[in-house]
Structure 1
Amino acid sequence: MVVNGNAKRVTDDLVDILDQIVQSGDLFVSRSIEEGDEIARTIVRRGYPTVLTAGGDGTFVQMVTKITAEAGRRRETPPRFGLLRLGTGNALAWVLGAQNPRHRGVIADLGRLRKEGGSRKLRLLDVEGTLTPFAGLGIDAIALTDYNLTKEALSKSRLTRPIASGGAAYLIAVVGKTMPQYLLRPHPAVTIVNEGEPVVRLGRDGEPVQELAKGEVIYRGPSRMVAMGTIPYWGFGARIFPFADDREDRFSLRVVDINSFQVAWNIRDIWSGSYRSDTLHDFLCERISIRYDEPMPLQIGGDPVGPRSRVEARLAPEPIEVVDYYAPPPVTSP
């Protein structure tokens, strides 16, 4: 098990509890990139069949990327990966069935894993060499940065500390900071080109309406957000990619150009994945390049990584195996 030592819900008491549950020497606490690299090497060298990450989506993304790369260098099969919900956002928890991010929920998930622990294959994106279930450029990355700043500010007071992480803090950040900033800003221009297998353009009803060959422009025009995902959910249960499960050989691409007033007016439909508009464009892609006229903030797996003018994204060649608490446990012979 790999625990993100920087996660706010990771306390010394929780680490002690996990250390008592997990076999001695099999609990790793990572607080830096260097520690994560060394942990990945140790995990692959020891040949663990299943590796659990305790943190948010970012912890899962970083460790899956590092461990998969190390296994590839050694020409070995990567382990099965599982998520224990301790971070914020937790898009993967909505897909894989991880419980509430409290000590009791995490311990319950460990118990479920011992008794049940079904599995499934999960396709991921490869964005700048990072394996992730979702990524995005534009307002979503800016909102995550604003959320981190808001979370830090709220955590300084005892009165606001209980809402310093989670959906309430995210809503405060978006409504109080992100949306007002973008009321009067011009909409950045973006060009997205198909660099791989045919892209499928979807209509409002989610049905295919057009195929675009390699080299063709998928979209050219203004945008507030370019988002990609292999799972339906974004952080906090927002169903941003309602068509992500349509095809195993494609990921969902959404180009959005709605303004702040439209977001506020339609927030329930946006959150549930039912919002449709002439300024919302859906595609199913295998490999694309994205070019902005000016640098735009990028987030990968819920972690802001800085501004980019050009980004390439593709469906990772091989899926990973994950613990799926929704899946039935394997059948064993009597």
Structure 2
Amino acid sequence: MVVNGNAKSVTAEVIETLDQILDSGDLFVSRSVEESEGIARILVDRGYGTILTGGGDGTFTSVVTAVVNEAKRRSAPIPRFGLLRLGTGNSLAWVLGASGAGEKGSGGFRGLAVDLSRLRADAGSRWLRLVEAEGVLSPFCGFGIDAEMLKDYTRVKGLLARGPLKRIAPGMVSYAIAATTKTLPSYFVRRTPHCRVINTGSDAVRVGEKGSILGAPIRKGGVIYEGPAKLACVATIPYYGFGLRMFPYAEDRPDRMQLRVTNLSPVAFVSNFQTIWRGEYEDLESTFDFFVDDITIEMDPPTAFQIGGDVRGDRKSIRVRLTEPIRIVDFYAPPRG
């Protein structure tokens, strides 16, 4: 198991609890991408059949990318992956049914112990495709307001961590403060980037209301979308962090990712917040959804870009491709026979 030592819920007590539950030598604590790559070499050397990550989406992204690359380099089998809910956003935890650290009881942290015991007993699994951008494998990535909010969240979290609210700094409170005081207000005056999405893969199609298909397929080399975009994002799972159902059609086509481009105004976002959160908001004039498998997104001017909830900086052009599937622990899946 690989735990992110910087994650919100990874305390000394959590590490001690995991060390007691797991066999000696099977717990690794990583605090950087470089450490993840070194750990990946050890994991592939030892031939683990299942590798768990303890943290949020960024931890999962970092570990899976490092292990898959190392396994492919050696022509070794790619293991099954699992997730324990120890980070902040945890979009994958909503998809896979991970419990989280929960409360500390006589046997350690209840949620972790429950998930680990389920895993050892009969946890099922399924195949999951990811998106690949800049060589990184992740459940989602995106340009625009989501990446800007992540930058604002990091600033707010840093400020709160210096004062009496430091215990709640890494969490929903900081996201709410960042969104309402920084990110959304800035979009009233910020120039909206011009976005161009080019199909560099198989036929793409536009998705309409209730998942219906609109119009003719867009062939390789065709322009999928061109125009203003406050957000241009891609995913293979329905959720962003905290249960925000940003990609309601992401699981409809196992051979495609969902691309979402939106020019929704801050006022419209706030006014329709609940339906947007549930993935029920539909406005074909401001929000454009597509099924794609290989695209290039161009932004003018260069715009903030994030992969798996980690901001990568401003980018002008990014190619995003659908990966081959990996096997992943799914606590909602039927138990193993």
Instruction: Give the % identical residues.
Output: 50
State the 1:47 CA deviation. Answer: 0.2
Aligned pairs for 1:245-256 (under 5 A) are 245-256=251-262
State the 1:176 CA deviation. Answer: 1.2
| Residue matched to 1:304 | 311
Q: Distance in 2 between matches of 1:161 and 1:154?
A: 5
Letter in 2 for 1:314: R
| Residue matched to 1:292 | 299
Conserved in 1, the CA contact under 8 Å of 2:8 and 2:88?
no
**1:205 is paired with a residue of what secondary structure?**
helix
Q: Distance in 1 between matches of 2:169 and 2:114?
A: 25
Q: Distance in 2 between matches of 1:48 and 1:228?
A: 30
| Residue matched to 1:228 | 234
Q: Distance in 2 between matches of 1:72 and 1:3?
A: 23
| Residue matched to 1:131 | 137
Letter in 1 for 2:254: E
Structure 1 segments of 4 or more deviating over 6 A? Answer: none
| Residue matched to 1:154 | 160
**2:302 is paired with a residue of what secondary structure?**
strand
Letter in 1 for 2:73: R
The worse-fitting range, judged by mean Cα deviation, of 63-72 and 205-214 is 205-214
Conserved in 2, the CA contact under 8 Å of 1:116 and 1:325?
no
Conserved in 1, the CA contact under 8 Å of 2:84 and 2:100?
no
State the 1:9 CA deviation. Answer: 1.7
261, 267, 272: which one aligns with 2:273: 267
Report how many aligned residue pairs link the two structures. Answer: 329
Q: Distance in 2 between matches of 1:93 and 1:205?
A: 25
Q: Deviations over 1:101-137 (max 9, x none)?
A: 4332122211221222111101101111111100000
Conserved in 2, the CA contact under 8 Å of 1:200 and 1:284?
yes
Q: Distance in 2 between matches of 1:241 and 1:274?
A: 10
Compared CA separation, residues 148 and 107, structure 1 to 2 (3 A): farther
State the 1:156 CA deviation. Answer: 2.5
| Residue matched to 2:181 | 176
| Residue matched to 2:105 | none
Aligned pairs for 1:186-197 (under 5 A) are 186-197=191-202
| Residue matched to 1:11 | 11
State the 1:148 CA deviation. Answer: 1.6
Q: CA RMSD in A?
A: 1.1
Q: Distance in 2 between matches of 1:106 and 1:97?
A: 12
Aligned pairs for 1:63-74 (under 5 A) are 63-74=63-74
**1:88 is paired with a residue of what secondary structure?**
coil
The worse-fitting range, judged by mean Cα deviation, of 240-249 and 25-34 is 25-34
State the 1:169 CA deviation. Answer: 2.2
| Residue matched to 2:212 | 207
Q: Distance in 2 between matches of 1:197 and 1:118?
A: 31
Q: Distance in 2 between matches of 1:162 and 1:264?
A: 28
**1:244 is paired with a residue of what secondary structure?**
coil
Letter in 2 for 1:54: G
State the 1:193 CA deviation. Answer: 0.5
Q: Distance in 2 between matches of 1:163 and 1:116?
A: 35
Letter in 2 for 1:298: F
Conserved in 2, the CA contact under 8 Å of 1:166 and 1:236?
no
Q: Distance in 2 between matches of 1:224 and 1:91?
A: 21
**1:305 is paired with a residue of what secondary structure?**
strand
**2:232 is paired with a residue of what secondary structure?**
strand
**1:269 is paired with a residue of what secondary structure?**
helix
Q: Distance in 1 between matches of 2:32 and 2:179?
A: 29
**1:309 is paired with a residue of what secondary structure?**
strand
Q: Deviations over 1:65-86 (max 9, x none)?
A: 0000000011111110000000
Conserved in 2, the CA contact under 8 Å of 1:225 and 1:256?
yes
Conserved in 1, the CA contact under 8 Å of 2:2 and 2:28?
yes
| Residue matched to 2:146 | 140
| Residue matched to 2:106 | none
